Structure 1
Amino acid sequence: MNKMRNKSNSALVPALFLLALTGMFSSCSSSDGEEKAKSVSDAPKKDSVAAPTATFELAKGQLSADLFVPGELVAFQQVDLYAKVNSFVKKLYVDVGSEVREGELLATLEAPELQSQLASAESRVKSQEAIYIASKSNYDRIVETSKTPGTISQNDIDQADARQKSDLAQWDAAKAAYKEIAETLKYLEIRAPFGGVISIRNVNPGAIVGPSGKGSELPIFTLQQQDHLRLVISVPEALTGYLRDQQKVNFTVKSQPGRRFTATVKRLAGALDNRLRAERTEMDVFPKNKELLPGMVAEVDLAMPAKDSTFVVPVSAVVNSTERVFVIRVSDDHTAEWVDVQPGRTQGGKMEIYGSKLKEGDKIVTRASEELRNGSPVH
C-alpha cells in the first residue's frame, strides 16, 4: 500500500507542474494583448483636413467648332429631255456617257401629220394672199373712180376699204398659223440645252415619244453638267448663325479614301426647311477627271468659328441637372453660389456658356457637381 501511494504522488507532481506553466504563459499572453490593444486605443487621432477645391478665373474667348454633317453632290445643271409633240424616234446620235456641247443634235424625230399640217397652212397662206390682192385692187379702182364726181358713193368706198383690211388680217393669220407649225417641226430635233454628259437614255429608234404624261412617261435623255457640281448640306437651326458666305469647306467621299476635297460656300437658302428645321446650304465644286460624280454622299467638315467672344469654360465646370444648368461661383466669403447659364457649343473639352450674372474674373469651380451645395463653404 505505501509503495502504491508513493508512486501516485510521484506521478501527480509533474502534472501539476505542467499545468502551472501553461497558466503562467496564457496570463502573460493575455496581458501583452491587452497592453497592445490599450496602446493602440490610446494613440492620438489625427484631425482630417478637407481637400482644397480647384477653381479658375472666368474669361472670354472664341471657340472654333467643327460641324460634321453628311452632304450630297448633285449636278449644277440637270434636265430631263422630252419630245414636244407626239412623234416617233427616227435616229439617236448619242448614248449613255456621251459628252455633248451646247446646241449639239442628240436625236431626230418624225411626225408625218405635222408635214401635212404645214403643207395645208402654206396653201392657206397663198389663198389668203390672193384674196387680199384682189380686194386691194378693187379698193384702189373704186378710189380712182370716185375722183369723178357723182360716180361712186362714199359708202361703197368704205365697204371696199373694210373688205381689203379684213382680207389683209386673214392673210396675216394664215402666215402666223404657218409659222407656228414650222416652229413645231423644229421640236422634232432634240438638242442639248447646255454642255454636259448623257447619264440616262430610255428609248430606241422607232419608239413613240411625247410630252411628259402624254405619250412618254420617261424622258428620252437625262443630261447632267458634271464638270461643275453642287455640294448640298442641311445646317441645323442652332448653328445657322455661324455660316459665312465664301467660306472654305473640306469634305471626303467613300470612293476616294484618304483624300480631302475643298468647296466654297456660295448659296444660303435664307430660310429653314419646315420638315428638318435646317437651312439648305450649297457649295460649288469643280472636279477633275470625273473623280467626283453626281449622287455621291460626302462627309463635310464645316468649320464654325465664333463671331463674338463669349465665356469659355471646361466642360467639367458645367452641371447639367434635371432642373437647371449652372456653374458654381466662389463668392468673396468663400461660399458656393449656383449661377444659371445657357450652354453653347462644345469643342475639345471646352464649352461656351451665356449668363447675365457672370462677369470676367469670377472664380469658378473647375469640377462642379451637385454635391457642392449652394451656400456651402469652399476651401
Structure 2
Amino acid sequence: MNKMKNKTTSALLPALCLVVLAGMFNSCSSSDGEEKAKRANETPKKDSVAVPTATFQLVKGQLSTDLYVPGELIAFQQVDLYAKVNSFVKKLYVDIGSEVREGQLLATMEAPELQSQLASAESRVKSQEAIFIASKANYDRIVETSKTPGTISQNDVDQADARQKSDLAQLDAAKAAYKEVAETLKYLEIQAPFSGVISARNVNLGAIVGPSGKGSELPIFTLQQQNHLRLVVSVPEALTGYLRDKQEVSFSVKSAPGRHFTATVKRLAGALDSRLRAERTEMDVFPKNKELLPGMVAEVDLPMPARDSVFVVPATAIVNSTERIAVIRVSSDHKAEWVDVQMGRTQSGKTEVYGSKLKEGDTIVTHANEEIRDGSPLR
C-alpha cells in the first residue's frame, strides 16, 4: 500500500506544478494588461495636448543687406598703339610712366619705300596734268573752229570733248593716288589719342614695327587713362534686382589697409554673362595722387536695399527640411497650419519670405520645428 501511495504521489507532482505555474503566468499577464490599460487611460495623446508656443504678428518690411564681392580696377580708356605700315623706329619721345596729352607726338618711324612711292605719284600727277591741259586746249580750238560752218564735223568735236574728259579723269586718279601715299606717310608718326600715362613700351630704336600680327606681335606703346578708372564687379543673378543706377558703394584695396574709397554705379550690362551667370556692373572712380592703379583687386561693399515691402520674419520661424520650406501659422481654432513659403535674403537673424497664402496680420509661430505637427493644437 505504501508503495502504491508513493507511486501515485510521484505521478501527481508534475501535474500539480504545471497547474501552479499556469496560474502564476495568468495572474502576471492579467496584472500587466491592467497596468498598461491604466497607464493608457491616465496618459493622454500627445497631439491632443495644446502646446504652449511663442508667436508674432506677420507684417511687411524692407530688409537691407550688403553684398561683399571682389572687384577689379581698370583704366577708363586703354589702347595698344601699333604702327600702321611696316617701318623702322626712328625716334622715341616717351617712355614707361610718361604722362602725355592728347595729340602729343610719341614716336616717329621711317620707310624709304614710301618716299619713293610719293615721288612717283607726284610725277604721275604732273604728267597727267600736262596731258589734260593739251587735250583741253585742242578741244577749245576745235570748238572755236566749228563755229565756222563746214570746217569741223560734229563727230570731231565730240571726240575731242571725250578725250579731254578722259584726261581729266586720269588726272583726278593720279591726284587721289598721290594723296593716299601722302596720308600713309602720316602714319609714320604715332600720336596720343587721349591724355594718359604710358604703361608699356616694347620697342627700341631701329626696331622693325608694323600692324598687329604682321610687323610685330607686341604694340609699340600701351596708353592708359589713369585719372579716371572703372571699378568692375559681377553681381550674381539672384541679386541683380537690387542694383540701382547712381548708387554709391564703398571699397578697399590691399595697398591701402584701413582706408575706404567710394564709387558710383554708372553702367549696368543689362544682361548676364553666359559663363558666370552674373551681371557686369561698372562704377566710376577718380583717384588722387595715383593711390589707386589699374589692375588692383578691390573688396567691394554693395548695399542692397529692398525696392518693395515684403514679409520679414525671424529666421527661427522657418522650417527648412528636405521636403519643404514653410512657416507655421496659428489658425482661428488655435491649431498649427503649415504654409509653404520661399526664402529671400537673410540679414541679422531676419529673413524675407514669399508665399501666396500669407497675408498681413497672420499669427506665426516664432520658434518653428518639425515636432509641431500640422493640425496639432497650440496655446
> Please, what TM-score do these two structures have when normalized by structure 1?
0.86
Segments of structure 1 that go 5 or more residues without pairing to the other structure are 1-46
Match of 2:19 in 1: none
The number of residue pairs the alignment matches comes to 334
* Distance in 2 (alpha carbons) for counterparts of 1:51 and 1:171: 105
Cα deviations by residue, 1:165-206 (Å, 9 ceiling, x for unpaired)? 000000010001000100000000000000000001000000
Equivalent AA in structure 2 for residue 140 of structure 1: D
Q: For residue 170 of structure 2, what is the aligned residue in structure 1?
A: 170
SS at match of 1:371: coil
Give the drift of 1:333: 1.6
The CA deviation at 1:361 is 1.3
- Residue matched to 1:124: 124
Question: 1: CA distance between counterparts of 2:123 and 2:316?
Answer: 90
Aligned partner of 2:342: which letter?
Q
1:96-116 residue CA offsets vs partner (Å, 9 max, x unmatched): 100000000000000000000
1:360 — aligned with what?
360
Matched position secondary structure for 1:174: helix
Match of 2:59 in 1: 59
SS in 2 for 1:223: strand
Supply the distance in 1 between the matched residues of 2:141 and 2:228 (Cα, whole angstroms): 68
The offset of 1:51, in angstroms, is: 6.8
Separation of aligned partners in 2, 1:331 and 1:70: 46
Q: Kindly, what percent of the aligned residue pairs are identical?
A: 85
2:270 equivalent in structure 1: 270
1-structure distance, mates of 2:67, 2:214: 46
Distance 2:181 2:371 in 1: 87
Where 1:234 maps in the other structure, the secondary structure is: strand
Query: Using the alignment, how far apart are the partners of 2:208 and 2:189 within structure 1?
Result: 15
Distance 1:121 1:165 in 2: 21
8 Å CA contact retained: 2:50, 2:378: no
Partner of 1:160: 160
When structure 1 is superposed on structure 2, of 363-372 and 179-188 the one drifting more is 363-372
- Is 1:332 aligned to residue 332 of structure 2? yes
1:1-150 matches, cutoff 5 A: 52-150=52-150
Aligned partners of 2:164 and 2:356: how far apart in 1? 88
User: Counterpart amino acid of 1:213?
Assistant: G
Letter aligned with residue 166 of structure 1: S
1:296 aligned partner: 296
Is 2:50–2:377's contact at 8 Å kept on the other side of the alignment? Answer: no
How far residue 328 of structure 1 moved from its aligned partner, in angstroms, is: 0.7
- Tell me the CA shift for residue 52 of structure 1: 2.4
Question: Structure 1: how far apart are the matches of 2:167 and 2:292?
Answer: 63
Inter-partner Cα distance in structure 2 for 1:186 and 1:215: 18
Q: For 2:50 and 2:142, how far apart are their aligned partners in 1? A: 127
Quote how far apart the aligned CAs of 1:378 are: 1.5
Moved over 6 A (4+): 47-51
CA distance, structure 2, for counterparts of residue 271 and residue 86 of structure 1: 41
Aligned to 1:244: 244
1:12-31 Cα offsets, whole Å, 9 max, x none, are: xxxxxxxxxxxxxxxxxxxx
Are residues 1:348 and 2:348 paired?
yes
Deviations 1:250-277 (A, max 9, x none): 1111111111111011111111111111
The code of the aligned residue for 1:222 comes to: T
Distance 1:315 1:280 in 2: 31
Work out whether residues 68 and 302 of structure 2, in 8 Å CA contact, stay in contact via their aligned partners in 1. yes
Structure 2, unaligned stretches of length 5 or more?
A: 1-43
